Structure 1
Amino acid sequence: MVINYPNGKTYTPRKNTSENRSKKDYSFSNRGKTLEDEINETNDYYMQQGTAVIHKKPVPIQVVKVEYPSRSAAVIKEAYYRTASTTDFNGVWQGIHVDFEAKETKNKTSFPLKNIHAHQIGHMRLVAQQKGLTFLIVRFSLINRYFVLPFAPLLDAWEEMGKGGRKSIPFDIFEQNAYEIVPGAYPPIDYLKGVINMISEESGKQ
């Protein structure tokens, strides 16, 4: 039986076999996956291991026009964003609310702040005020390096831009203030290791 998503794409069930976890799926020779794909697969791993429950947030849309080319298929022809989205992912880890944005850039020397929106910074600020964990995961795709950037340096860069300062975060800020994630086989990017290091260092400063 063929099942179609509302956008017309065909759904292919994931096989529940060990080959899904093979090195072939996650090797550096198969780097066509987006950062979102890698985080989704990592979150699946966390769920299976009972480590954390973290999901991609659904995009809030208002569907206004749907066509039915056949009884078994529906195609959305027109839809609008109902509200501005907040961050990409949220969930619970060890009783802590985790809320983060994920971005990738082809820039080798800096991360452009145009990739972040004011309402996302505002949302992350509110999460931080409630003692939740909020941060930014950035993939520098051309050099294949990943970082967990705490909210504090992200906010500093955002506020500096608001004062007329530079509109990007230099790469050396990531090397100095972020926590690098080494990609692996399964999970693809174990970002909670970076979060653990971030918490440990912050606790040491108190």
Structure 2
Amino acid sequence: MSIKYPDGSSYNNENSSDRLNNSTSNKETIFGDRGMTLEQEINQSNIYYRTHDIAVIYKKPIPLQIVKVDYPKRSKAVIREAYFRQPSTTDYNGIYRGKYIDFEAKETRHKTMFPFTNFHEHQIEHLRKCLKLGGICFVIIRFVTLNEYYVLPASVLIKHWDLQNTKDGKKSLSHQLIVENAYSIEPSFNPTLPYLSACDKMMSTS
């Protein structure tokens, strides 16, 4: 299926195994006895948080304009071409402890780094604006091969994103930098991924 941004440029998530949507649609990663992607773990956690009146956080819908549909069978329609009505921002948003929460979720199979190619400029700018207005913003990163989970404050991501084109800048975040600047979280039973514990720590230091 061909999907394009509002300016007509093509969206291609097939050239990077790091992108969450690609990993979610094409394969399952295994944790313990359950096979779940990062997205599934977060979605289940959000259900738990909402059910127990802890937080109201949802995955944002992707606004698509469908322009071409094939009907190979009467009972089945296949979307062949679609456009993003507007650039996507981040994966999730909601409210927790009276604060606006906004975050992205990403997986990578790299062991030593997290490439900036996982992000678009407009996503960084969205996080920057939310931070400016007092939101709690971050990225949940899963190192698939290492089976490690981190909540990285958006301020750290933005700082190094801005430095990437300078003399000493890099095109990725090193695993060591993430370990030193993020909050490590461990999968659990309920919630599946207790990422709000990291939010508590960010709120206490803000």
Q: TM-score, normalised by structure 2?
A: 0.79
Q: Note the aligned Cα RMSD (angstroms).
A: 1.7
Given that residues 27 and 185 in structure 1 are in contact (C-alpha distance below 8 angstroms), is that contact kept between their aligned partners in structure 2? no
Residue in 1 that maps onto 2:39: 36
**CA shift in 2, pair 1:27/1:155, >3 Å:** closer
Residue in 2 that maps onto 1:167: 171
Paired AA for residue 192 in structure 2: P
Q: Could you tell me how far 1:66 is from its partner in structure 2?
A: 3.4
Decide which structure has the larger Cα Rg and report it.
1
Q: 1:48 aligns with which of 44, 51, 58?
A: 51
More helix by percentage: 1
Count of residues paired in the alignment: 175
Match of 2:142 among 130, 139, 143: 139
Report whether the alignment pairs 1:192 with 2:190.
no
SS in 1 for 2:32: coil
1:158 aligned counterpart, secondary structure = helix
Change (3 A) 1:27 1:35: closer
**Displaced runs of 4 or more, over 3 A:** 66-70, 72-75
The DSSP-based 3-state class of the residue aligned with 1:162 is: coil
CA contact (8 A) 1:134 1:150 kept: yes
Which residue of 90, 93, 98 corresponds with 1:95?
98
Unpaired runs of 5+ in structure 1?
1-25
Could you report, residue by residue, the CA deviation over 1:109-154 in whole angstroms, capped at 9, with x for unpaired residues?
1111111111101000000011011111100111111011011211
| CA distance, structure 2, for counterparts of residue 137 and residue 148 of structure 1 | 5
| Amino-acid identity (%) | 46
Which deviations, in whole Å up to 9, do the C-alpha atoms of 1:42-101 show, x marking residues without a partner? 10111111111111111111011335533x654433312222100010011122110001
Counterparts of 1:152 and 1:27, CA distance in 2: 29
Q: C-alpha separation between the residues in 1 aligned to 2:51 and 2:112?
A: 36
The residue number in structure 2 matching 1:116 is 119
> Matches of 2:33 and 2:79 in 1, distance apart?
35
TM-score, length of structure 1 as denominator length: 0.79
Q: Bigger shift: 122-131 or 158-167?
A: 158-167
